[in-house]
Amino acid sequence: MASRPSDSGFESVSTWRMRAVVALFIGLAVVVVVRLVMIQVIEHERHEVQADRTWAIETKGPRGAILDRNGFPLATSIDAWEVHVDTRLWARSGFQPTDASRRLAELLRAPESAVLSLAAQTHAGGGHDALIAYGLSNALGAQIHAEALHGVQIRKTSSRRYIEGSMAAQVIGLVGRDEQGLAGLEYQLDGVLAGEAGLLVQEVDGLGQPIPFGPRAERPYQQGASVVLTIDRNLQWLAETTLHRAVEQWHAQGGHIIMMDPRNGDILALASLPTYNPMTIDLDLPESMALLRTRAASDIYEPGSTMKVITMAAALDAGIVSPDTTFVDTGAVVIDDRTIKNFDLSYHGEQTMTQVLQRSLNTGSVWVAQQLGARTFYEYLYRFGFGDSTLSGLPGEIGGVVTDSTDIRWSPAQLATASFGQGVAVTPLQIVQAYATIARGGVPVRPRLVTAVITEDGVQRFEPQTGTRVISSQTSSTMTWMMQAVVDGVLGHPAQVNGWPVAGKSGTSDVVESGTYLVGESLASFAGFAPANDPRVVVLVRIDRPQGEIYGGIVAAPIFSDLMAQVLPYLGVPPTAYIANPGDWNTAPGIDPDDTQETSDGEHEQDALTADVADDEEPASPVTYIQDEEDDQ
């Protein structure tokens, strides 16, 4: 008879099984704990990337257009695409070549190493969104989007286009690859043109592509406003082509042509050389940065004899002289230890103030400034706007340099040289504004480049801004007459324009480098307005360092004449039968035929120094006029 198993054996088997189950649970628990440690501690960053499937993207609307005064686009934006890479996804491969990087490089026709380097640099800097390429066409953008490459995202954006290439480049400026303004009005008005960026937050998959119907939040962008300039595209083209020809003709280093409507301050054209093409300029070259300056407003120079108009206007307005006031030109004047001579070393004897301008006599300008006195002279310079910005709105504009009699470095010789445009520094735009003040009756007007801003809400217009009266309307009329005598009252003056009366003045400025005047080098200029009886346009022509000739009357005046003959008809000012006749201008000193009394040269000189001169409270500068030796005999 078989015996029954003992209870102790059954219990031993059950105990073993229980121990095995417990051991299994303990092992599983250890595995779970170890895995949790790996996920939450050791592999934390990798899993954080996998868990973060949202992508915040800044969105931008199209940049506003820049239009000329007639609505023609000078700068506009077109649809384009950008390629971005989520560096967190590419970091898994250590930014080593992958199928995605290889294919992206093929589509962009770029070295794969360059693509990987851009992504790695962004990641190293703590960024997750690397811009790889921009300005892509619609076709290429659609192709990259369709291939759904790992970590690659395509975004719609815009690309800036400058319709006329280099036209008005130093006024318009340019934008960088991020569509932010870098120079010119693109920089100055960046906040207006760019609008306000939006924000898009969306969920993406492991490839970095948006998940359809996934969570999405968006703040829409505000489209940039368009800006209407005062620049006339046709006049700008005329100014630039004329300047190019002149620079080539005179083998010059550059120059400026500025046209301004004196009635409202509108800058109709502003051409400068050298210039650049914003579509092709390489900003990595050091020399490129100098081209970005708006040189007509940011670079200063000594204006030369164009300043004589301002000196004479001040003396007329102060009641110190009239057009018929005379002085004796002996060809030179000594101030302190400095001898100042006429530009051509000539002397002319008794001369009226009108003849001082016609013959551009340095000695006459010195005499006028000396009669004015330093305080009054510099007050008028400041009234005309010298030493202060014109507030045109161009970036980098400066006010020039005027060292007046309150400066410890000042001397009487500086008053003398300033009277004919040496020892003061101005911008080309300041000369245009000063001449416009005379042309428009003595009240200055701010140079204007923007007439309107167009937004989705409407059009904001900007009215002309005038300043405090500088000279009386009578002084303005008299000064205009004298400036017309300079041009139309001189036989064969190269600035004359058949059909229109012209008022103006040439200037020949010395070139300064490292504090030294260069021998045989000049800035040749002519500034004036027409028609003299009803000014419609003020023009400054300046040719920098022409070769073969140095004088503004020879180099720049003919260019002024050619421009006016084309500009005035374009502005709706048809020619008349007017032809300059110097015989109509009697600017010589008046002579009484009944007065036959002879006087010595010294008596003539004394009469000239005191004729028509009002008393001045300010002491005169120590001036000695030199007589020619032949007059002493």
CATH of the domain at 96: 3.90.1310.10
Q: Are residues 543 and 397 in the same domain?
A: yes
- Separation between Cα atoms, residue 351 and residue 366, nearest integer Å: 14
Q: Are residues 402 and 289 in the same domain?
A: yes
Single residue among 155, 189, 218 that ends a domain in this structure: 155
pLDDT digits (tens, 9 = 90+) for 576-622: 989 888 888 878 786 443 343 333 333 333 333 323 333 344 444 33
pLDDT at 305 over 60: yes
pLDDT at 134 over 90: no
Looking at the 3D structure of the chain, how many domains does it have? 2
Give me the CATH number covering residue 459.
3.40.710.10
As beta bridge partners, residue 269 has 259
Helix (H) or strand (E) holding 510: strand 503-513
Which pLDDT band, with edges at 50, 70 and 90, does 82 fall under?
Answer: confident
CA dihedral 292, 559, 490, 262 (to 10 degrees): -50
Report the range out of 60-69, 139-148, 330-339, 375-384 with the highest average pLDDT. 375-384
- Separation between Cα atoms, residue 138 and residue 140, nearest integer Å: 6
Q: β-strands 537-544, 254-260: how paired? A: antiparallel
What is the number of residues in the chain?
633
pLDDT at 415 over 90: yes
Which pLDDT band, with edges at 50, 70 and 90, does 386 fall under?
Answer: very high
Q: Are residues 243 and 123 in the same domain?
A: no
Question: Which value, in Å, is the radius of gyration of the alpha carbons in the chain?
Answer: 38
The whole-number pLDDT of residue 130 equals 87
pLDDT at 456 over 90: no
Residue 203 counted as domain residue:
no
Residue 600 counted as domain residue:
no
Q: Which domain holds residue 269?
A: 233-592
- Separation between Cα atoms, residue 310 and residue 387, nearest integer Å: 14
Residue 82 CB: number of other CB atoms within 10 A? 20
Contact (CB, 8 A) for 265 and 432 = no
Residue 40 counted as domain residue:
no
The whole-number pLDDT of residue 138 equals 83
Q: Rounded to 5 degrees, what angle do the CA atoms 564, 567, 572 make?
A: 120
Residue type, 157: T
Residue 633 counted as domain residue:
no
CA dihedral 286, 292, 296, 298 (to 10 degrees): -70
Token pair belonging to 369: 């400034």
Average pLDDT over every residue of 316-332: 95
pLDDT at 58 over 80: no
Residue 260 counted as domain residue:
yes
Please give the biggest Cα pair distance in the chain: 181
Residue 541 counted as domain residue:
yes
SS3 state at 12:
helix
Q: Are residues 267 and 408 in the same domain?
A: yes
Q: Are residues 133 and 275 in the same domain?
A: no
Single residue among 102, 122, 155 that ends a domain in this structure: 155
Q: Are residues 237 and 104 in the same domain?
A: no
Token pair belonging to 93: 């491969």
Q: How far is CA 486 from CA 24, 78, 113, 288, 433, in A?
A: 112, 51, 68, 41, 20
> For residue 262, which of 480, 76, 86 has the smallest C-alpha distance?
480
> For residue 339, which of 417, 408, 419 has the smallest C-alpha distance?
417
Residue 195 counted as domain residue:
no
Contact (CB, 8 A) for 306 and 434 = no
pLDDT digits (tens, 9 = 90+) for 191-200: 899 877 666 6
Single residue among 138, 155, 172 that ends a domain in this structure: 155
Q: How far is CA 193 from CA 181, 226, 233, 243, 459, in A?
A: 9, 6, 20, 30, 14
As beta bridge partners, residue 316 has none
Average pLDDT over every residue of 147-163: 86
The whole-number pLDDT of residue 624 equals 40
The mean pLDDT of the chain is 85
The whole-number pLDDT of residue 57 equals 62
The whole-number pLDDT of residue 621 equals 39
Reading phi first (left if > 0) and then psi (alpha if -120 to 50, else beta), residue 514 is in left
Token pair belonging to 409: 């470095």
Q: Are residues 379 and 486 in the same domain?
A: yes
Q: Are residues 369 and 473 in the same domain?
A: yes
% of the chain at pLDDT higher than 90: 56
DSSP classification of residue 92: G
Average pLDDT over every residue of 74-83: 88
Q: Are residues 257 and 146 in the same domain?
A: no
Residue indicated by tokens 């020809």 = 245
Which pLDDT band, with edges at 50, 70 and 90, does 443 fall under?
Answer: very high
> For residue 505, which of 296, 308, 259 has the smallest C-alpha distance?
308
Q: Are residues 395 and 297 in the same domain?
A: yes
Please report the beta strands in 426-493, taking only residues with DSSP state E, as ranges in sequence order.
450-455, 458-461
Residue 51 counted as domain residue:
no
Q: Are residues 263 and 371 in the same domain?
A: yes
The whole-number pLDDT of residue 88 equals 85
Q: Are residues 245 and 362 in the same domain?
A: yes
% of the chain at pLDDT higher than 70: 82
